[in-house]
């Protein structure tokens, strides 16, 4: 049976949603599943308990005082050493700012092949099958791994269809003093943005996104989209034209030179649907477009369309969703 | 003081993707090739460093076939001093690319800073920065929005989820991967473009740096285009009617709310 290791990112002692998505789905594959959590000694109890709720063979808490904050070198050393010592066949994680950063180092340490940002993964016998988008989602390809074991893949948030119910019975939790190697650079400070402080989910993790374009005309008008987003529990995004005009910060930009998102619901208000915008959101499950121009290219990629003025439609939708969801 | 900047040549963002008839590669004939947009920020950052440090020289490196010379000439025209092409086959993966770049840099002497772009917009793998740093045995900070360069250390700010910022202090030598917004890349002037055409681009073969074909750890097959959607359902009537119908459909048909 394949031995599958899943690096589960934690933040202030809690597992990230993406980590639970990968862990809970892998637990349905009928393989031997190991969860890896990294942090300083004494800080991982809650995260380990959460991981042990799933049908995991073992939860490995890899502990070192130097891992109190994130460092690419330290985290790569800890994860690579464990995967090697335990003869992992497959090493998976949810794609995030952190795993995107240090997993390439793990692949070099292990001389393993790595597929980034996969939208589908499965096991065929003991072999990992992965599919990933390229050219900002303009095409997909299957990945064949020819490097040393483990085969490594990072997985896009929501690609596995969200978190599966827990089926475990409380698995073994091991606390291990881990060697973090030579750390030359680590996070010395985190400046939390207002968005992160407010608890709003990041665009890349959001299940629902309400996005606006140039046609919003100014920053203040985005309030009508924020109101809708708050009713839907959605995160607000923007086109590059809206970002370049200064209506929204760059971190809100969806598209080829912004964020790649894959929510369950993407609502585009007054966005024409340029190829570079589609590149960032075309894998969304359901796309709704609201545009005054019935020939706007966005309608070719949408599932539902409203030809109309967003300044009328957005407040009306806010009202109707509020009623429907109450 | 040796500064390196690694760039990739990629098809521009308007390129229509065509899959070759065997399904196992892309047909990129007719693509317009450009320097990866993120690498422009890396080149600009390297040139600005040189402008402030008179003893610095900037070497721009690209790994790939003959055509990458065009991107190297663009970087020379922007202000890089020397250019180096590593003859890398088209099917090289991130592992092999990172190793080839690292070995070519090491062969040129001691690096002070190596700049890259945060991600190439063709394969979107975003692996080469940290993988190359691992081969070079250097620290690295990726997705950098701002960096300040001291005599022996770099203070760098990296963008993470939700627009929050991680601050790092890294000793030199160090690898820095540029995010959009790190600076405003310059346009090359016509005289500089003409001068860049005459510069010699050094060619490095894989044999020169001891990298072999078995360094490829992943390969691609079975390319597909994104699945087409069933078609857009246009909602009829006035705005209140359309709105209520949309809420109903999202709930009962699409089942997403
Ligand atoms: C290298 C490169 C990278 C790029 N990267 C990105 C990227 O990451 N993300 C991105 O988004 N773009 C990107 N672009 C830009 C992209 O090509 C488009 O210019 C941009 O997406 C257009 O934004 P928009 O749809 O808001 O504006 P426009 O194209 O101006 O469209 C506005 C739309 O609003 C509609 N409209 C107007 N008034 C109303 C109203 N009252 N109600 C409803 N609808 C209305 C119009 O019919 C129109 O369709 C990139 C371009 C390049 C060259």
Sort residue B210 into left (φ over 0), alpha (ψ -120 to 50) or beta.
Answer: left
Cα distances (angstroms) measured from residue A181 to each of A73, A176, A235, B166? 8, 15, 39, 21
Record the pTM: 0.91
Distance A303 CA to ligand 1 centre (A): 19
By three-state DSSP, how is residue A234 classified?
coil
- For residues A131 and A294, what is the distance between their CA atoms, to the nearest angstrom? 34
Measure B243 CA to nearest chain A CA, in Å: 6
Residue in B with minimal Cα distance to A206: B162
Contacts of B226 in chain A (CB under 8 A): 133, 137-140, 282-283
A303 vs B13, B174, B233: nearest CB: B233
If you average pLDDT over residues A168-178, what whole number do you get? 90
B124 → closest Cβ in A136, A250, A288: A136
**C-beta of A11 in contact with ligand 1 (< 6 A):** no
Tens-level pLDDT at each residue, chain B (257 residues): 999 999 999 999 888 899 999 999 999 998 999 999 999 999 999 999 999 999 999 999 999 999 999 999 999 999 999 999 999 999 999 999 999 999 999 999 999 999 999 999 999 999 999 999 999 999 999 999 999 999 999 999 999 998 899 999 999 999 999 999 999 999 999 999 999 999 999 999 999 999 998 899 999 999 999 888 889 999 999 999 999 999 999 999 999 98
Classify burial at B227, counting beta carbons within 10 Å of its beta carbon; exposed 0-12, middle 13-18, buried 19 or more. Answer: exposed
Q: What is the dihedral of CA A254, A260, A262, A263, to 10 degrees?
A: -40
**Which residues lie across from A123 on neighbouring strands?**
A128
Q: What is the pLDDT of residues A201-246, one digit of tens each?
A: 889 989 999 999 999 999 999 999 999 999 999 999 999 999 999 9
> Over the stretch A79-125, which tens digit does the pLDDT of each residue have?
999 999 999 999 999 999 999 999 999 999 999 999 999 999 999 99
Q: Where are the domains of chain B?
A: 2-215, 231-257
Unique residue bearing structure tokens 């990112």: A9
- Measure the CA dihedral A181/A183/A189/A193, to 10°: -80
Query: Residue A21: pLDDT above 80?
Result: yes
Strand-pairing partners, residue A235, are A209
Q: How far is CA B118 from CA A52, A101, A202, B121, B200, in A?
A: 35, 10, 19, 10, 28
Rounded to the nearest angstrom, the minimum Cα separation between B56 and chain A is 23
Helix or strand holding residue A85 (H, E) = helix A72-85
A296 pocket-lining for ligand 1 (C-beta < 6 Å): yes
Q: Kindly state if the Cβ of A242 falls inside 6 Å of ligand 1.
A: yes
Comparing C-alpha atoms, which of B123, B162, B132, B135 is closest to residue B42? Answer: B132
Q: What per-residue confidence (pLDDT) applies to A166?
A: 84
Instruction: Give yes or no for a cis peptide into A150 (omega within 30° of 0).
Output: yes
Backbone angles phi, psi at A274, to 5 degrees: -60, 150
Three-state DSSP state, A313: helix
d(CA B110, CA B136): 10
Please say whether the dihedral angle defined by the alpha carbons of residues B196, B197, B200 and B204, taken in this order, is positive or negative: positive
Chain B contact probe: residue of A91, A140, A141, A195 with most B CBs at under 10 A = A141
Q: How many CB pairs under 8 A join A and B?
A: 260
On chain B, the residues whose CB falls within 8 A of the CB of A144 are 218-221
- Mutation for testing the A interface, residue in B117, B130, B147 having most A CBs under 10 Å: B130
State residue A1's pLDDT score: 87
Task: Check CB contact under 8 Å for B240 and A139.
Answer: no
Find where tokens 């310059």 sit. B186
Q: Ligand 1, from A137, A203, A213: best to mutate by most atoms within 8 Å of Cβ?
A: A213
Q: Whole-angstrom distance between the N-terminal and C-terminal Cα of chain B?
A: 58
Decide if pLDDT at A10 tops 80.
Answer: yes
| Ligand 1, atom 27: closest residue by C-alpha | A214
DSSP string, chain B: -EEEEE--EEE-TTPPPEE-TTSSSEE-TTPPEEE-HHHHHHHHHHHHHHHH-TT-EEEEEEESSGGGHHHHHHHHHHT-SEEEEE---TT--HHHHHHHHHHHHHHH--EEEEEEES--TTT----HHHHHHHHHT--EEEEEEEEEE-SSEEEEEEE-GGG-EEEEEEESSEEEEEPTTSS-PPPPPHHHHHHHHHSPEEEE-HHHHT--GGG--EEEEEEEPPPPPS--EEPPSSHHHHHHHHHHHHHHTS---
Can you tell me the distance from the alpha carbon of B217 to that of A31, in angstroms, rounded to the nearest whole number? 24
Q: Which helix (H) or strand (E) holds A35?
A: strand A32-39
The shortest CB-CB distance from A108 to any of B134, B221, B226 is to: B134
Q: Is A134 close to B169, i.e. CB distance below 8 A?
A: no
Measure the CA–CA gap between A87 and B197, rounded to whole angstroms. 52
Q: What is the pLDDT of residue A71?
A: 97
The distance of A171 to chain B (nearest Cα, Å) reads 31
A62 C-beta closer than 6 A to ligand 1: no
Atom of ligand 1 nearest to the CA of A255: 8
* Bridging pattern class, strands A187-191 and B165-171: antiparallel
Q: Which residues contact A310 (CB under 8 A, 6 or more apart)?
A: A212, A215, A216, A224, A269, A270, A290, A291, A292
Cα separations in angstroms, A115 against A23, A107, A153, A295: 18, 10, 5, 38
Whether the complex's predicted ipTM is more than 0.90 is answered with yes
Domain B2-215 has CATH 3.30.70.3270: no
Nearest CB to B13; choose among A98, A144, A275: A275
Indicate the length of chain B as a whole number: 257
């Amino acid at each position: 049976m394949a031995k599958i290791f899943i690096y589960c990112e934690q933040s202030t002692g809690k597992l990230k949603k993406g980590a639970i998505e990968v862990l809970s789905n892998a637990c349905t594959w009928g393989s031997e599943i190991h969860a890896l959590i990294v942090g300083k000694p004494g800080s991982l109890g809650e995260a380990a308990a959460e991981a042990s709720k799933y049908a995991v063979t073992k939860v490995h808490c890899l502990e070192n005082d130097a891992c109190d904050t994130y460092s690419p070198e330290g985290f790569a050393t800890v994860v690579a050493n464990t995967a090697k010592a335990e003869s992992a066949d497959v090493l998976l994680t949810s794609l995030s700012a952190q795993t995107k950063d240090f997993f390439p180092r793990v692949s070099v340490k292990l001389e393993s092949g790595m597929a980034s940002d996969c939208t589908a993964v499965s096991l065929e016998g003991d072999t990992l099958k992965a599919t990933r988008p390229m050219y900002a989602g303009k095409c997909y390809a299957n990945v064949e791994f020819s490097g040393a074991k483990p085969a490594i893949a990072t997985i896009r948030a929501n690609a596995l269809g969200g978190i599966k119910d827990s089926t475990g019975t409380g698995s073994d939790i091991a606390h291990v003093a881990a060697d973090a190697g030579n750390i030359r650079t680590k996070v010395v400070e985190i400046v939390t943005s207002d968005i992160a402080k407010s608890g709003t989910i990041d665009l890349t993790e959001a299940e629902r996104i309400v996005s606006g374009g140039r046609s919003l005309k100014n920053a203040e008008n985005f309030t009508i989209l924020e109101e809708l987003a708050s009713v839907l529990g959605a995160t607000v995004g923007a086109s590059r034209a809206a970002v370049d005009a200064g209506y929204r910060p760059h971190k809100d930009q969806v598209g080829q030179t912004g964020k790649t998102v894959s929510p369950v619901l993407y609502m585009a208000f007054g966005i024409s649907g340029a190829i570079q915008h589609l590149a960032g959101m075309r894998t969304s499950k359901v796309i709704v477009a609201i545009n005054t121009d019935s020939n706007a290219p966005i309608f070719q990629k949408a599932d539902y369309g409203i030809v109309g003025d967003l300044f009328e439609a957005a407040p009306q939708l806010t009202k109707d969703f509020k009623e429907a969801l109450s | 003081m040796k500064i390196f900047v690694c760039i990739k040549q990629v098809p521009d963002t308007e390129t229509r993707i065509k899959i070759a008839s065997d399904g196992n590669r892309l047909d990129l004939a007719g693509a317009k090739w450009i320097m990866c947009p993120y690498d422009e920020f890396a080149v600009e950052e390297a040139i600005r460093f040189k402008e402030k440090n008179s003893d610095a020289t900037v070497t721009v490196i690209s790994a790939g076939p003959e055509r990458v010379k065009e991107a190297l000439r663009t970087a020379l025209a922007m202000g890089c001093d020397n250019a180096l092409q590593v003859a890398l086959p088209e099917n090289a993966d991130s592992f092999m690319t990172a190793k080839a770049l690292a070995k070519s840099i090491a062969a040129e002497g001691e690096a002070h800073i190596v700049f890259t772009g945060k991600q190439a917009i063709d394969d979107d793998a975003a692996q080469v920065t940290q993988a190359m740093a691992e081969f070079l045995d250097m620290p690295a900070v990726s997705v950098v929005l701002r960096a300040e360069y001291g005599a022996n250390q770099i203070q760098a700010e990296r963008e993470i989820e939700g627009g929050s910022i991680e601050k790092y202090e890294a000793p030199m030598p160090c690898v820095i991967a540029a995010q959009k917004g790190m600076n405003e890349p310059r346009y090359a002037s016509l005289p500089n473009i003409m001068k860049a055409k005459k510069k010699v681009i050094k060619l490095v073969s894989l044999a020169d740096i001891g990298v072999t074909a078995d360094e490829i750890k992943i390969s691609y097959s079975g390319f597909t285009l994104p699945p087409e959607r069933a078609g857009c359902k246009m909602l009829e009537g006035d705005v209140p009617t359309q709105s209520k119908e949309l809420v109903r459909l999202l709930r009962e048909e699409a089942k997403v709310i």
